[in-house]
Amino acid sequence: MDLWKNIVFSCRLFIFCLSLATALATSVASELQINGFGTVGAAASDDQSGYAYDIRNKINYYHDTKFGLNFSSRLGQKWSWASQLLVKRWVDDTFDDNKVKLDWALVSYHPWSDLSFRVGKQKLPLWLFSDYAEVGFLYPWVRPIQEVYGITPLNTITGASLNYIKQLGTVNFELNAVAGDSKVVEDRNGGIVLLANVKRAQLLTFSLIHENFLLKANLGKSDAVDVTQRTGSSSYVFPQLKYTFASLGAKVDYQTHFVWTEIVTTHVEHLSNMNGLYLSYGKKFGIFSPHITYARYWSHNYKSVRADTTTSTATTTVRVLSYVPERKNKQQSLILGLVTKITDRSNFKLEWQYIDADGYSRDTTERSTTTGGVTTTVTSHGNTKERGFFDAHPRGEVNLFSATINFIF
C-alpha cells in the first residue's frame, strides 16, 4: 500500500513539474511572474503510533515532501492578482490524498502605496510565518512546530481583507483585517477528526517590522456550524460553536544569533481550551546553523452533554445522559536541529525531536431509573490515556528523526 502511494505521488509530482516547465516557458515573453519552492523529506520515529497522523517507526517520504508554484501579475496600475498551486499530502476525510490543489488565489486593489484590499481565497495571518508556512527554506525547523501550528486547522479563508502599512522611522507598522468563511477538514489533537463549516471568521493582526526583528499579535473569532468531532468509532455533533483565538509571536535576527517564539490560546465555547508555545534559539557558523527549541501544548475539553435519551414503561422511566469525554491533553518537545546552506536558494536540514505526550480522557454516562416515584442514578466512567498529537498513546517518550532538502526559485 505504501509503495502504491509513493508511485501515485511521484506521478503527480512529475505532472506538476511538467506543468512548471510549460509555465516557465510561457512566462518568458509576458509580465507573469512565477516563483516556486519545494521540500523533499524523510522522517521516522521509534514508536508505532502515528505522529501528526502518519510519522511512525518506518521511514515516511511523503509527510514533509511538497512542491509549490506562485503566480502573480499586475492588472494595470492599481490592480494585481496572485495564486499558488501546491502539491503535498493533503489531509481530508480519507487521510490519503496526494494531489495538486489551488492553495490560494486572490485579486488585490492598491488605491495608495500604503493601503490594499484583497478578495478571494487567502492565507489567514494567524501565525508568525503564516504566509510561508509551506516554504521549508524560510524557517529553521523541518516542519512548523506542532504544539502551536497544530492547534487550529484553519489556515485559509475565502473572503476579503485590508492591509495597511505605516512607516514609523526605521520600523513599519502593519495592520491586517480579514473576514470570510472556510471549511475545515483536519486531523488534530491526537487522532481527533474535526469537520466544520466556518462562518463569519474575523481576524485582526498587528505587526511591527524591523530589519532585525518582527513582532506580531493576532485576535480572531468565528462561528463553526455543523461541527462533527470524530474519535475512533465515536462521533459527536455540535450544531454551532463560537471560536476565539489570540496569539503573540516574535522573531529576532541579530548578527549571527536568531530567536523565534510564539504563544497561542484558543477557546471553543462549551467545548475546549487549547494552548501552545515554543521558544527557539540558533546561531550561525558560516554555512551551518544549529538550533534548539522547547515546545509545549496543553488543552482541556469540558464535559458536556452529548445525548439525552428517555425510555418509559407503565411502571419505570429510564433516562440516560451521555457526555462528550472530558479530556486533558498535553505534550512537550525538545528539538535539536542543524541547517546547512547549500546555495543561496537551498539548504539541508537534520533534526532530532524528543516528544513526551500525556494526559487522560474520561467518558461519563449517567443512568437514572424512576420506579414508583423513587429515582436511582448510577454514574459510570471510562478512563483512557491521552496522546498529544499522536493517533494512539505512545509506549513512552518518542524520538523522531527527520531530514529535508529545501529550495526556492
Global pTM value: 0.81
In the numeric block, the cell 470570510 is attached to: 180
Q: Work out whether the CA dihedral 146, 148, 150, 156 comes out positive or negative.
A: negative
DSSP 356-386: EEEEEEEEEEEEEEEETTEEEEEEEEEEEE-
CATH homologous superfamily for 2-408?
Answer: Porin (2.40.160.10)
Q: Work out whether the CA dihedral 10, 12, 16, 22 comes out positive or negative.
A: positive
* Tens digits of residue pLDDT in 93-131: 444 455 788 899 999 999 999 999 999 999 888 889 888
Does residue 309 register a pLDDT over 70? no
Beta bridge partners of 239: none
| Mean pLDDT, range 61-73, rounded to an integer | 92
Q: What is the pLDDT of residue 22?
A: 53
In the numeric block, the cell 488605491 is attached to: 111
Q: What is the pLDDT of residue 9?
A: 54
The one-letter amino acid at 181: D
| Mean pLDDT, range 387-397, rounded to an integer | 83
Q: Where are the domains of the chain?
A: 2-408
Please state, rounded to an integer, the average pLDDT across all residues of the chain: 82
Of all residues in the chain, the percent with pLDDT exceeding 90 is: 50
Query: At a CB cut-off of 8 Å and minimum separation 6, what does 253 contact?
Result: 212, 213
Q: What is the pLDDT of residue 28?
A: 43
Of all residues in the chain, the percent with pLDDT exceeding 70 is: 75
Query: At a CB cut-off of 8 Å and minimum separation 6, what does 21 contact?
Result: none
* Tens digits of residue pLDDT in 16-57: 555 555 555 454 445 789 999 999 999 999 999 888 868 999
Question: How far is it, in rounded angstroms, from Cα 386 to Cα 310?
Answer: 31
The helix (run of H) or strand (run of E) holding residue 5 is helix 2-27
Q: What is the pLDDT of residue 190?
A: 46
The one-letter amino acid at 386: E
